[in-house]
Amino acid sequence: MTKASPNPLVAESPLKEAWGVFRRSGLALFGLGLLITIIIVSLIGPLIYTVDPIEIIWAPLTAPGMEAVVPLGTDYLGRDMLAGLINGGKATLAVGISAALITVIIGISIGAMAGYYGGQALGGRFPYHPFPKLRVTEFFQVLPPLLFAMVLVTLFSPTLPIVAVAIGVVSWPATARLARAEFIRIRNLEYVNAARSISATDNWIIWRVILPNALPPLIVSSTLSIGIAILFEAGLSFLGLSDPNIVSWGLMIGSGRQYILDAWWVVTLPGVMIFLTVLSVSLVGDGLNDAFNPKLRDR
């Protein structure tokens, strides 16, 4: 008995269709697998390799492979590099994800209001609304993001939560502009006008009607924001603007930069981890972009 073929008249769900496109990309699957591996190692690794990354356990600047007790060598104080890499991933990923979440919340909120109420939206019902030209975004865009983040971290205590907030506060304009563009594109479509015709409130239309249909490009942007936030955190830690009591990959690079000519591993190993993490996030973001953008599916 042959298996019945699927009904061609039944539309496939958008998420299932997007996943089908995503999994056909070898690079996207490689990036997803690499990212999942890094996350698992960062979360479970400290439970298996229980060496304290702050504790001095061997001679300083021991090269990788020289001593079995420290397979990846030690830093300038004699701390285990492998323990630092495993434990540092948790802090780096936490800052990256938290900062990206703050970026998305601020960016979508401002962009949604600007796109929905701005200009001649709703047939000119709000022609003088304060959001039309997104002046707040333009103000933040003229500020150098890294310098602004440095000022915020310096004004407050250099803890990981403050670092995450600082990165999120300076990184949202791009997301806001993308959200605004999507809301401008969608706000006068037929199903949105149908929602208005039944007296739906503006909040309902913004968050329950337009936003779900504007999510695909915003999801891609949010994914890429994680990689940007990780690079920001590494830059701030390199400059000494991070919590010295919590190991992160950026802090490892910053503390070992003076010894790079004599001990390449103290900077190279955490740098490789940052590179692999940002690369995996970028590959996943590219895969999501292809999956959610119909124009790119046949590239």
pLDDT in tens, 271-280: 999 999 999 9
Q: Residue ranges per domain, the chain? A: 35-61+72-294
Report the predicted TM-score, pTM, of the whole model to 2 decimal places: 0.81
Please report, in angstroms and rounded to a whole number, the separation of the first and last CA atoms in the chain. 38
- Tell me the C-alpha distance between 158 and 244, whole Å: 9
Note the pLDDT of residue 124. Answer: 43
Amino acid identity, residue 58? W
**pLDDT tens digits for range 162-215:** 999 999 998 888 898 899 999 999 988 898 989 888 888 888 999 889 988 888
Note the pLDDT of residue 134. Answer: 55
Q: Vertex 137, ends 134 and 143: CA angle to 5°? A: 150
Note the pLDDT of residue 234. Answer: 86
Gyration radius of the chain over CA positions: 23
The average confidence (pLDDT) of the chain is 83
Note the pLDDT of residue 136. Answer: 67
Mean pLDDT in residue range 35-55: 93
Mean pLDDT in residue range 115-126: 57
Q: Is the pLDDT of residue 130 over 50?
A: no
Residue with tokens 């890294």: 146
| 127 confidence band (pLDDT: 50, 70, 90) | very low
Q: Is the pLDDT of residue 16 over 90?
A: no
The CATH number of 35-61+72-294, from 3.40.50.300, 3.40.50.10090, 3.40.30.10, 1.10.3720.10, is: 1.10.3720.10
Q: Which residues pair with 80 in a beta bridge?
A: 74
Mean pLDDT in residue range 218-232: 87
Q: Vertex 149, ends 145 and 154: CA angle to 5°? A: 150
25, 290 Cβ separation under 8 angstroms: yes
